[in-house]
Amino acid sequence: MTGGYDCYQNGLAERVNGALKQEFLLYRCKTFEEAKTLVAQSIAIYSRLRPHLRRGM
């Protein structure tokens, strides 16, 4: 979800969610805590290490 209730940000949220599902969350977690940890790690990797066009790839 994005903040501010701006419908134009929905595309960004869907893109990030899609990348998380297709590139990072590749197996079913057994517990909710495991899922929370995996999502947090995936977001950190997506934000810091994954090549982004805006960061010059």
pLDDT at residue 1 tops 60: no
State residue 55's pLDDT score: 59
**Are the C-beta atoms of 42 and 24 separated by less than 8 Å?**
yes
pLDDT tens readout for residues 2-43: 566 777 778 878 887 888 888 877 888 899 999 899 888 888
Q: What does the pLDDT read at residue 16?
A: 79
SS (H, E, C) 2-53: CHHHCHHHHHHHHHHHHHHHHHHCCCCCCCHHHHHHHHHHHHHHHHHCCCCH
**In 3-state terms, the chain is what percent helix, strand and coil (to 5)?**
70, 0, 30
